[in-house]
Structure 1
Amino acid sequence: MRVNLQPSYILHSRAYRDSSLILEVFTAEHGRLSLVAKGARRRARGGSTAALLQPFIPLLLSFSGRGEMKTLTQVESAAAPVALRAEQLYSAMYVNEVLMRLLHRHDPHPLLFAAYGQVLQDLTDAPLLEAVLRRFELGLLDALGYGFSLQQDGSSGDAIEAEGWYHFHPDFGLIRGGQGVDPSHPAYSGGDLLAMSRGEFAGDARLAARRLMRQALAQHLGDAPLKSRDLFRGRLKQTGEQR
């Protein structure tokens, strides 16, 4: 297998042997792949293209190999690095970690790849970072076949009513129920759900969307905590925010 100049982003990298890197990359046409960048750490001192092997840089990668792990043969910049600072950076790290957990190797998602590039750009100038993340999470669930309607009861097929209360079920999506007070079985107001369906994530809908996405993603992320949350937990405590 030989692939030339594939649009890609690096999701994660780690040291390998004495001087190499193992890269987890998200590509436009081949999905998530593992690549070995031989000698990348040794060459980095000379300011070579190894300096490009960082997250959040649009890249063109060439690679080859027959096994599960391919060998990186060429790297070029496809555009300027995305300038992320403070919570923008933490949010992008969260997106990368979620993709690492949920994407299967060699499973192409070209629309999701485009959405990933867009979310990085949106994080740089959006007034409300949480709205960017919630929209991406909803699109991610749809792309992976786990999506659910914010406008329709997943059990009865009835339209979501603004005055109703709904619970999330992993097999059906949102189903009507009582308001309740059980934190392990949260209820969501129909009004907030309809606001989310319109892409509105302010006020009460902001908090409801955060809870709903955590609940929906937990079904697929597993029990291990997200490391990206630990990295900015101190900062989030200062501002009273959560991801």
Structure 2
Amino acid sequence: MAKLEVVENQAAYVLHSRPFRDSSLLVHLLSKDHGRVNVIAKGARKQSGKRQARQPLQALLALQVDWQGRSDLKTLLRWESRSQPLMLQGDRLYSALYINELLMRLLPENDSAAELFEPYETCMKALDSNCDLQPLLRCFELNLLTALGYGLDFEHSEGDAPIHSDGYYYWQTSGLFIPAGNRNNAYRGEHLMAIEQRDFSDSAVLLCAKQLMRQVFDHLLDHKPLKTREFVRQMQQQSVGVSKHD
């Protein structure tokens, strides 16, 4: 029989939750020391007694938790809110859900990914402020790629040749950049160098980073669409439809 694992006083965020059996929830957590963990919150859907005072176990909630279990699916023993729920709306809410979906799709269960928790928490707090969304998202995407062992080499192209600021490059699914024969759909070297430094002060660099991250993550996701992205697209189409009839 597998050894019983008991974890106490672990900081975590709810990535996603859904009903499980009659009154419980299956909750996907991003924890500080244990990475992505799946837990069963028994009776969490019952709103009676002590549970009435708790925040529902919904996405983006910051928690302090205890759990135990012998398998990959743990039992949540205790949970308490660490802070007030994030009051996100519009693009900021969609951005947070986009990040959560990336983690759900790409981060292996029980992979410690300790280097990812702090950037995630920083990102969530920043989304709750007036920060510029696009640089924030690009920085987190780069952090996620590093945590997945897929960090990009912005200094060298294929064959270990240096990337030149005035050169143009294509990204390959092998993770390497190769010199481009022309500028069409290619990334400029100086923009790649700026991305490595997380310097998004130039709008051209920010656009380059967005296009590159879309290409890389589409590959990692096997070109299967993100539900968050599809939802945003539908909302935008509905908004256009409403405006045409105003």
Task: Tell me the TM-score range normalised by the shorter chain.
Answer: 0.7 to 0.9
Aligned partner letter, 1:157: D
In 2: Cα distance, 1:166 partner to 1:45 partner: 61
Identity among equivalent positions (%) equals 36
In 2: Cα distance, 1:70 partner to 1:43 partner: 22
**Superposed counterparts of 1:157-168, under 5 Å:** 157-168=160-171
Aligned partner letter, 1:81: P
Query: Which of 33, 37, 46 is matched with 1:42 structurally?
Result: 46
In 1: Cα distance, 2:180 partner to 2:127 partner: 35
In 1: Cα distance, 2:223 partner to 2:193 partner: 30
Q: Return the offset for 1:26.
A: 0.9
Whether contact under 8 Å (2:44, 2:51) holds in the other structure is: no
**Superposed counterparts of 1:134-153, under 5 Å:** 134-150=138-154, 152-153=155-156
Is the alpha carbon distance of 1:136 and 1:62 closer, same or farther for their aligned partners in structure 2, counting shifts above 3 Å?
Answer: same
In 2: Cα distance, 1:47 partner to 1:137 partner: 36
Q: Which SS does the other structure have where 2:99 is aligned?
A: helix
In 1: Cα distance, 2:196 partner to 2:210 partner: 14
Aligned pair count?
A: 234
In 2: Cα distance, 1:154 partner to 1:165 partner: 11
Q: Partner of 1:231 in structure 2?
A: 231
- Using the TM superposition, name which of 76-85 and 108-117 deviates more: 76-85
Q: Partner of 1:197 in structure 2?
A: 196
Query: Which of 154, 174, 183 is matched with 1:171 structurally?
Result: 174
Over aligned residue pairs, what C-alpha RMSD do you find?
2.1
Is the alpha carbon distance of 1:149 and 1:44 closer, same or farther for their aligned partners in structure 2, counting shifts above 3 Å?
Answer: farther
Q: Which SS does the other structure have where 1:163 is aligned?
A: coil
Q: Which SS does the other structure have where 2:22 is aligned?
A: coil
Is the alpha carbon distance of 1:44 and 1:235 closer, same or farther for their aligned partners in structure 2, counting shifts above 3 Å?
Answer: farther
**Superposed counterparts of 1:43-122, under 5 Å:** 43=47, 48=52, 50-122=54-126
Whether contact under 8 Å (1:165, 1:187) holds in the other structure is: yes
| TM superposition score normalised by structure 2 | 0.87
Q: Partner of 2:17 in structure 1?
A: 13
In 1: Cα distance, 2:104 partner to 2:110 partner: 13
Could you report, residue by residue, the CA deviation over 1:105-135 in whole angstroms, capped at 9, with x for unpaired residues?
A: 1110111011110111122235421111111
Q: Which SS does the other structure have where 1:48 is aligned?
A: helix
Structure 1 unaligned spans of 5+ = none
Moved over 6 A (4+): none
In 2: Cα distance, 1:96 partner to 1:172 partner: 23
